[in-house]
Amino acid sequence: MRPRIPLRKRLLVRLLVATVLIALCSVGATAWLAVETTTRAIREEQGQDLADDMRILAQLSGYAATHPEWKGVEPSLRALSKKMGRRIALTTSDRALIADSAPHGTSLPPRAAASVDPLHTDTYTEPGAQLSGLDPRVVGPYRVTAKERVRLAMLAKDRQACFKQNGIDTTITMTPSGRPVLNDADGNNANGDVPEMCADGKLNTPTATESKALKSLMASAQPCMVRGGLSFKAPFFAVDISDKSLGSRYLTGAYNKLGDAADVRKAQACTDSARRTQLDPYVAPVAELFLGGGNTTAPRFAVSPANKAKVVGAAAAVLALTVLVTAVVATRLVRPLRALTEAAQQPPELHVRVPVKTRDETGILAEAFNDLTERRERMEAQRKAMVSDIAHELRSPLTNIRGWLEVTRDGFVEPDPALLGALHEEAMVLQRVIDDLQDLAAADAGTLRLHREPVRVEDLVDQVVAAHRVSADTAGVALTGKTDNSLWLEADPVRMRQVLGNLVSNALRHTPADGTVTVTAWRDGEDIVLTVADTGIGIAPENLQHVFERFWRADQSRSRRTGGSGLGLSIVRDLVAAHNGTVEAASEPGAGSVFTLRLPNSAAPEGD
């Protein structure tokens, strides 16, 4: 009875469990990614809200910088509110309402977003940032007249042309006061490094309007500087057209000298205070800016019960779909595996094969199973043939020995020396077959023992040639040996003589009279090459691949005496492999055969 596979060990169940785990990880990763994405979006939205707040503040600061009061700001404030989608409200410092985009009676937010004060906050120089200082859009008495603008524009064009003659391309932009400024191709001020021929100072000279405002400024700053211990001389004025800020664009020389850095800070503080006093009538009063979410409340990120149900439902749907798909795929995967299991459980003598329907891993496994079945069938046939051959090899000499002994016992034949010699020859045939089988069994079991020692190849070849000299002379075959000097092997000398002896005896049996058998040895790199070549009948190409198989003979009609036991070349192959070598056969019918051995070279022993 086929054993039942536990449920937890079934491939289908394991695939389902693995897929469910993967799905859970996927759902978790997706949820984490969604949360991270949402969080990032919220942060980006918050950043966008902050940028919108800065744009609102900058626009209202610009209005305050160019208007002496907030009267008339309501239309601009409502248009800005509609554009930004935000509630905008302006109040005085004591929370008196100036303008509000929300309906009347709507309460203000608990805290003001910012103070609108262009005399102390600069939202123009760097877009998106609040800098301390004077907003450049507050120009007041420094705004040049239309006539002065025309003259300054001409001076700017003249300087632009001068720059172009010196290889500098510039563009002209207007500052809030109406004074032109030259910028280079990158948008930066081009007056940082003015060519000498262009530095005429005309564009830097204050206009009458600017000089009047500067004189008034210095008159207002003089009492403060006197109190600070700063002495004066006749003041002079200049314009730094490369500076965007109104506070540092106009240069004044209204003191004889300054002491340390503290004196510089005193002079700057007096000038800034006088400038704010001078510009105060031209700007709107300080106001508090309140911002809200408009007519709708901003959504708050939260997981409601309905959203939780949606998340759970989506996760369940993903899991169900994953299980369904996995079940279908796993069933398709398990089906060929079940076919393989059923084929493997069939009786061995049937040699059942499975159909290969796919080219994936399962199809490759099925092909491997079929190949294994084919090899097993072939080995089974070889085993049966081997048993039959062994029985045949043993039966013939035993039958002869039994027959002669029976007739001798019955008195029909006298036990003379000739009969005893024949019986001895049959016993030797049995001994050779048994010895060959024993060697093959030891090689197959891995118990073949080798007694390695340094062996001179020249002595090995000479011994084999001398041992087969009588057989060669009897057959009328010339047997010779050729070797290079100083060739050594680390090998079992008895087994190596057996290897070469089997090859030589095999060559002598298949070489006609007047033929030759040559044993040759030489060095080839790190190997020693030994060849046994004959001029015999050769081997057909279709039979060459079978020469090392057990009990195989090129001529099936030859007996064990004329054709050997059929085990000699198999023993050669196994003994050479035990010495970490290889053996190959090459032959041409009618021209003879060559058997080539390759064995690892060994250094000569010390003292040789």
Is pLDDT larger for residue 218 or for residue 474? 474
pTM (two decimals): 0.45
**DSSP alpha helix (H) spans, 280-360:** 305-344
Q: Which two tokens stand for residue 135?
A: 């907003």
User: How many angstroms separate the CA atoms of 327 and 321, rounded?
Assistant: 10
User: How many angstroms separate the CA atoms of 393 and 389, rounded?
Assistant: 6
Q: Is the pLDDT of residue 140 over 60?
A: yes
What Cα–Cα distance (Å) separates residue 226 from each residue in 168, 214, 572? 45, 18, 123
DSSP symbol at 71: T
Q: Which of 582, 586, 584 is nearest to 598 (CA)?
A: 582
Q: What would you report as the CA-atom Rg of the chain, rounded to the nearest whole angstrom? A: 56
Three-class SS state of 72:
coil
Please calculate the CA angle 336-337-339 and round it to the nearest 5 degrees: 60
User: How many angstroms separate the CA atoms of 246 and 131, rounded?
Assistant: 14
* CATH level 3 topology of 369-442: Helix Hairpins (1.10.287)
Q: Is the pLDDT of residue 505 over 80?
A: yes
Three-class SS state of 245:
coil
What's the average model confidence in pLDDT over 45-68?
A: 83
Length of the chain: 608
Q: Which of 99, 116, 126, 124 is nearest to 283 (CA)?
A: 116
pLDDT tens per residue across span 330-375: 787 778 878 888 888 888 777 788 888 776 667 778 888 888 888 8
Quick one: 170 exposed, middle or buried, by C-beta within 10 A (0-12, 13-18, 19+)? buried
User: How many angstroms separate the CA atoms of 344 and 338, rounded?
Assistant: 10
What CATH superfamily classification does 449-600 receive? Answer: Histidine kinase-like ATPase, C-terminal domain (3.30.565.10)
| pLDDT for residue 521 | 94
The HSE-up count of residue 586 (CA atoms within 13 Å, CB side) is: 6
Domain residue spans in the chain? 1-114+296-345, 140-282, 369-442, 449-600
Q: Which two tokens stand for residue 2?
A: 């086929």
| pLDDT for residue 234 | 45
| pLDDT for residue 516 | 94
Q: Which two tokens stand for residue 425?
A: 């020859």
| pLDDT for residue 1 | 44
Please calculate the CA angle 134-269-208 and round it to the nearest 5 degrees: 65
DSSP string across 483-527: E-TT-EEEE-HHHHHHHHHHHHHHHHHTS-TT-EEEEEEEEETTE
Q: Is the pLDDT of residue 559 over 70?
A: no
In one-letter notation, the amino acid at residue 195 is P
Average pLDDT, the chain: 79
User: How many angstroms separate the CA atoms of 64 and 117, rounded?
Assistant: 8
Tokens 């020396």 identify what position? 417
Confidence of residue 534 (pLDDT cuts 50, 70, 90): very high
122 neighbors 136 (Cβ within 8 angstroms): yes
Q: Which has the minimum average pLDDT: 32-46, 90-104, 355-369?
A: 32-46
Confidence of residue 581 (pLDDT cuts 50, 70, 90): very high
Q: Which has the minimum average pLDDT: 408-422, 464-478, 558-572?
A: 558-572
| pLDDT for residue 345 | 83
Select, from the ranges 299-313, 424-438, 547-561, the one with the highest average predicted confidence (pLDDT): 424-438
